[in-house]
């Protein structure tokens, strides 16, 4: 063999070796489901954001990617954004959705969750579920042979986090090192945001009223993730501490779906945590405001803030569509071990 041929052959071997090493290390989108955001690695999230970016820029290039595929939307609570963005998103990829509301398909009443999971898996390629108890989404995932996507449970709202962090990336060209000030309830939206930020090396400064902090269990897992990513997570009971140095100021409703009986107490407890122009004026001038919506104008956020040029809220809502299209695409087209 000539010297140059030998060199080429050895290069090929080396390349092959490197590829094999990489492949054995990380299997992209290895988990069947998307229940809490814990399932995705940092690499998965970065890949997903790149796909969402392409889908947003060139939607016409993806029109048939999920042709003939279908998703069941199994919703126990009301929804506008999640429902519409999944339905439109799936149809923009060439697939379709079947929507089932709580009257039609009350989980565990007309039939058991395990039977629903098994039967829907015979008809559909994915199940998007919105439930009260997070354990219901977990049970669906256990019995379904197709991917189960959490479209919001009492514990997590991971699809929301995909859009949130994609919006941060779009506005500031990075997630790592960005400061998010979250003011409000330690709820499902915050739990998922915590996982996303901690995986991607962002910083989250949280201000809740006393007694409304995220659970110890969540904070324990986040501590471990943050160690790896360098993410800084801090807790306080002072909204002005949370907005100090913030690139993003984030809030959500004070009364989540299912908590209606606590409404009066919550409105009293959360009063000092409203995002209004006075709060905004104390935050860095180039910071933006985010809210997952639906907003209760005049409670957690004022009209003036939502309508202000600092609001990124409707871009954030739009990004539900692009990120969920990317999510469906990756979960439904990846190669999985048998």
257 binds ligand NVA (CB under 6 A): yes
Q: Is the CB of residue 125 less than 8 Å from the CB of residue 71?
A: yes
Nearer to ligand CP, 160 or 205 (CB): 160
For this structure, is 97 an active site residue?
no
Residue of the chain from 168, 252, 317, 332 that contacts ligand NVA (CB under 6 A): 252
Instruction: Report CA-CA distances (Å) from 32 to 99, 111, 283, 284, 298.
Output: 21, 24, 41, 41, 41
80 makes contact, choosing from ligand CP, ligand NVA, none, with CB < 5 to 8 Å by partner type, with ligand CP
Catalytic residue among 76, 125, 292, 316: 292
For this structure, is 320 an active site residue?
yes
Q: Is the CB of residue 332 less than 8 Å from the CB of residue 285?
A: no
Sign of the four-CA dihedral 10, 14, 20, 21: positive
How many Cβ atoms are within 10 Å of 43's Cβ, its own excluded? 13
275 makes contact, choosing from ligand CP, ligand NVA, none, with CB < 5 to 8 Å by partner type, with none
Integer Cα distance of 146 and 71 in angstroms: 10
Catalytic residue among 252, 291, 316, 322: 252
DSSP bridge partners of 100? 74
- What is the rounded radius of gyration, in angstroms, for the C-alpha atoms of the chain? 21
Residue of the chain from 36, 51, 82, 131 that contacts ligand CP (CB under 6 A): 82
Query: Cβ 170 to ligand CP, closest distance in Å?
Result: 17
Angle subtended at Cα 38 by Cα 33 and Cα 39, rounded to the nearest 5 degrees = 35
192 binds ligand CP (CB under 6 A): no
Residues 149-188: x/- map of binding to ligand NVA (CB under 6 A)? ---x----------------------------------xx
137 binds ligand NVA (CB under 6 A): no
For this structure, is 315 an active site residue?
no
Integer Cα distance of 19 and 33 in angstroms: 26
Q: Which residues bind ligand NVA (CB under 6 A)?
A: 152, 187-189, 252-253, 256-257, 292
Catalytic residues: 130, 157, 160, 252, 292, 320
Q: Which residues bind ligand CP (CB under 6 A)?
A: 79-82, 152, 160, 292-294
């Amino acid at each position: 063999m000539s010297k140059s041929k030998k060199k080429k052959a050895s290069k090929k071997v080396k390349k092959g070796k490197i590829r094999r090493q990489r492949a054995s290390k990380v299997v992209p989108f290895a988990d069947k489901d998307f229940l809490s955001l814990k399932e995705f690695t940092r690499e998965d999230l970065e890949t997903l954001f790149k796909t969402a970016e392409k889908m947003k820029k060139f939607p016409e290039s993806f029109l048939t990617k999920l042709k003939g595929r279908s998703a069941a939307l199994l919703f126990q609570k009301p929804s506008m954004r999640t429902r519409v963005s999944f339905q439109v998103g799936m149809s923009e990829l060439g697939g379709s959705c079947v929507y089932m509301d709580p009257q039609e398909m009350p989980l565990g009443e007309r039939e058991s969750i395990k039977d629903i999971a098994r039967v829907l898996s015979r008809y559909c390629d994915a199940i998007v579920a919105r439930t009260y108890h997070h354990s219901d989404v977990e049970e669906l995932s256990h019995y379904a042979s197709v991917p189960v996507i959490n479209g919001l449970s009492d514990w997590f709202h991971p699809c929301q986090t995909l859009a949130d962090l994609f919006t941060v990336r779009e506005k500031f060209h990075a997630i790592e090192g960005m400061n998010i000030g979250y003011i409000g309830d330690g709820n499902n939206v915050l739990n998922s945001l915590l996982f996303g930020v901690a995986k991607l090396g962002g910083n989250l400064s949280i201000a809740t009223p006393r007694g409304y902090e995220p659970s110890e269990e969540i904070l324990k897992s986040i501590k471990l993730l943050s160690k790896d990513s360098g993410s800084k997570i801090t807790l306080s009971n002072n909204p002005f501490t949370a907005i100090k140095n913030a690139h993003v100021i984030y809030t959500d409703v004070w009364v989540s779906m299912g908590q209606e009986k606590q409404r009066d107490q919550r409105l009293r407890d959360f009063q000092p945590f409203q995002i209004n122009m006075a709060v905004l004026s104390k935050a860095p001038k180039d910071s933006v405001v985010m809210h997952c919506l639906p907003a209760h104008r005049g409670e957690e956020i004022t009209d003036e803030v939502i309508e202000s040029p600092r609001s990124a809220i409707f871009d954030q809502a739009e990004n539900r569509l692009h990120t969920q299209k990317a999510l469906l695409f990756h979960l439904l087209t990846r190669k999985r071990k048998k």
